[in-house]
Amino acid sequence: MKTLTFLLLLFIFSIPLYAQTTTHKFGRLNPSDISLTKYSKFPDADAIVLFDLGKSRFVLTDNGFDIHFTRHRRVKILNQAGIKHANFEIPFYNSKDGEVELVTNVKVLTYNIEDNTVKQTALDRKQFFKERINKNWQVLKFAAPNVRMGSVIDIYYQIETPFIFNLPDWEFQCSIPTILSQYKVGMIPFYSYVFVAKGLSKFDIYHEKKSIGERTFATISFKDMQYTYGMKDIPEFKDESFISTREDYLMKIDFQLAKIISPEGVTRPIMTTWKSLSKDLMKHQHFGRYIKRAKSMSSKILTTDIAQQNDQKKLESIVQFIKDKFSWNGTSSKYVTKNLKTLLKQKEGNSAELNLLLIGLLQSAKIDAKPVLISTRSHGKIYEDYPFEHFLNYPLVMVNMNNKVILLDATEKKLPYTSLPPRCLNDKGLVINTSKEQWIQIAEENTSNTISKIKIENIDANSHKATVQLSRITTGLDALSFRNKVSDSDSAIKYFKEAFSTIEKTHIKNQNKYKAPFIVSCKGIIEPECIQDKIILKPFLNLFSTSSPFTQRERTYPIDFTYKRAQKFESVIVIPDGYKVIAKPKPIKWNNEAIFVQANSSSTNNKLNVSIEYQFKKSIYPPKDYKSIKFYWNNIIKAINEQIILQKQ
C-alpha cells in the first residue's frame, strides 16, 4: 500500500462543482477528487464518474493494422449506497476463426482518507476473473479493493483488437451521473467510417485536427486525423420498465466501417444500399441458396399431404408442420449454420434454419413467401439511413395471400401460426426484395387480454379464514407469457402463492390448444384481517403489484409495452350473515385515445360485485405521454389494491 499526503485543509470543505480543468493522469489525483462530497448538478447521486476518457488509434503490425483502444475512468463513491458501483466489467471479442481481442495493462487503484492522509490500494491481479457470455464474447470482471464512502477509484486498461470492422464504440452514459465523458479517435486514410450518435442531438465537445507526426504504410505517407467527441454533466441512465433495449436510448456513438481504400487507391465499399444488400443475401450460401435447396427438397421434407387443400389451409398446415417437427434452439441468426441434412436429422435449429426452411416449403406449394429481416428487441433499432447488414439479426416470413400480408415465425410452438413472439415486435423489417427497397411495420395489431375472476366466500371472523376460487383467463401474447410460467400444478401454486394462504387445488385448461384462451384455476384459503367487529380484505387478493414501474419525474424515451394489452379483475364477495359493507372501492372511469380505465361495484342480495378493467390502446407511447401514463398506472394500482371492510351489524 502506498501513502500520498495532502494538506488537511483539502478535506474540510466540499466542492460544489468539480474542477474540469484539472489533470487526468492515472494515479495522480486532483485535490477536488478527494474533497468532493456532493456535485451540485446531481445532488442525489450515490456515486459519480469524475471523468471517462477513451482513445482509439491504428497501430501498424506485420499483418496490417490493429486498433489499440485505451480507457481511463475515475469514479467517486459519495455515500454507502454508491459502493455497489465499484464492480466493473470489460467485454472482449473472439471470432470463430481464432482471432481474439487482448485486454492488457489493466490497472485499478482505490484511494481513501485515513489519518488525514490519502492511502492508495492496488487491486491484486488474482482478483480478476473471466466469464464467457457466448461463443464470441467474454468479459473480464473485477471489483475495486477497499471501497467505502468517500473512495476514489481509478481504472485504466487497453484492448488490442485485429477487428478493423469493429472500431470500438463509446458509451457516454452509464448507471451513475458522469461529469465528463470524452472519446478520441485517430483515423487513417485507408479506412472510412460513419458513426451513429444515439440518445443525443449534439456533442458538447467536438473538434478535429491532423496529427503533427507523419507515418508511412506501403510507401504512402500520411497523417492521422484526430477526432474528439465529448459530453459534459450527463445524467445517469435509468433503465426503467417498458423499454425495448437500453442500447436504443443510451447516449453513445457507434462506428461502422463504410469503405476500405487500398494504398493503390482502389476503393472497396462496405456500406452499400438496402437493395444491394437484399440481392447479396439472396445469393448467399447460408440464406437465399438455402431457401432454394429447401424448395427443391420439399417433397422429401414435407410429410403432410396438402395437395387437396386450399392456399389458406396449406399455409396453416406447413407452418404447423415446422412447429411440430422442429424446435428452436434459442439462437437468433439471419444465417443458417447447418445444412438441411443435419437440420432434418437433429430436428433443432436457429431462427434462420427454421424460417428459411418454412419459406422454401411455402414457395414449393406455390404460396407467395419472402424473407423479412428484422432486428429483435434486444438487438436494437434499425437505422434506415445506414444500410449495414449487422443491424439485422433475425428472419421472418412474409406471405401475400388474397391481397393481405401475413407475417409468420416458426420458432414459437405455443403461439397460433399467425402470431409473432414479443422478441420480434421491434418497429420494422426489411423485405428481402431484389427489385426494390421495401420495409414493413412489425407490430401485433390484436390486444392481448388477461381476466382474473375471483369468488370469496365462507368468510369466518373467528378462524380468520375464507374460501377463494380464482380463474385467470389469458389470450394472445399474454397467454404465451402465462403458458411459459405455468405448466403444471406446482408452477401454478408458485405463481399464485402471494394470493393465497393455502392453495388446495389447481386446474389447467387448454395447455396445448394454442388458439384457445389459456386458463388456470385455483381453489384455496385466504386469511382476511379481523379487527374487533370488522373484517378487512382485498377483493383482488394480491394479484397486482403495489409499486409502480414508473418512478422517474420525466422520461426522454418512449414507453414501449411491446403490444397492446388489457386486464380485467372481477370479484364476487359473499357477505357473511350479520355483516354489512361499510367501505368498498370507489367508481372510476377514464376513456380517451390513450387508455380506458373503469372500476365499478354493486350489491345483490348478500353478494358484493367489484370489478376494475384497464386497456392501454397503444403498444408504444411517446415521452410526452409519460406523466399521464404514470398517473393512470398509479391510480390503477390504488384502485386494484383498495380494501373492502365488512362490519358486524
Please report, rounded to a whole number, the percentage of residues in the chain having pLDDT higher than 70. 97
Give the pLDDT confidence score for residue 381 in this predicted structure.
92
Chain center to CA of 568? 27
DSSP 8-state secondary structure symbol assigned to residue 64: E
Q: What is the mean pLDDT of residues 479-483?
A: 97
Amino acid type, 441:
Q
Cell of 215: 507515418
Confidence of residue 10 (pLDDT cuts 50, 70, 90): very low
Q: What is the mean pLDDT of residues 85-90?
A: 96
pTM of the model: 0.88
pLDDT tens digits, residue range 52-85? 999 999 999 988 899 999 999 999 999 999 999 9
Q: What is the mean pLDDT of residues 108-120?
A: 93
Q: What is the mean pLDDT of residues 610-631?
A: 96
Amino acid type, 416:
P
**DSSP characters over 504-523:** EEEEEE-TT-TTSPEEEEEE
pLDDT at 491 over 90: yes
pLDDT tens digits, residue range 327-380? 999 999 999 999 999 999 999 999 999 999 999 999 999 999 999 999 999 999
pLDDT at 4 over 90: no
Q: What is the mean pLDDT of residues 88-113?
A: 92
Q: Do 74 and 34 form a contact (C-beta atoms < 8 A)? A: no
Task: Output the CA–CA distances (angstroms, integers) from residue 120 to 47, 77, 143, 151, 615, in the order listed.
Answer: 19, 15, 15, 10, 57
Confidence of residue 14 (pLDDT cuts 50, 70, 90): very low
pLDDT tens digits, residue range 137-157? 899 999 999 999 999 999 999
Burial class of residue 322 (count of CB atoms within 10 Å of its CB; 0-12, 13-18, 19+): buried
Give the pLDDT confidence score for residue 9 in this predicted structure.
33
Q: Report H helices in 383-485.
A: 476-485
Of the candidates 47, 274, 305, 265, which has an alpha carbon nearest to the alpha carbon of residue 153?
47
Give the pLDDT confidence score for residue 22 in this predicted structure.
67
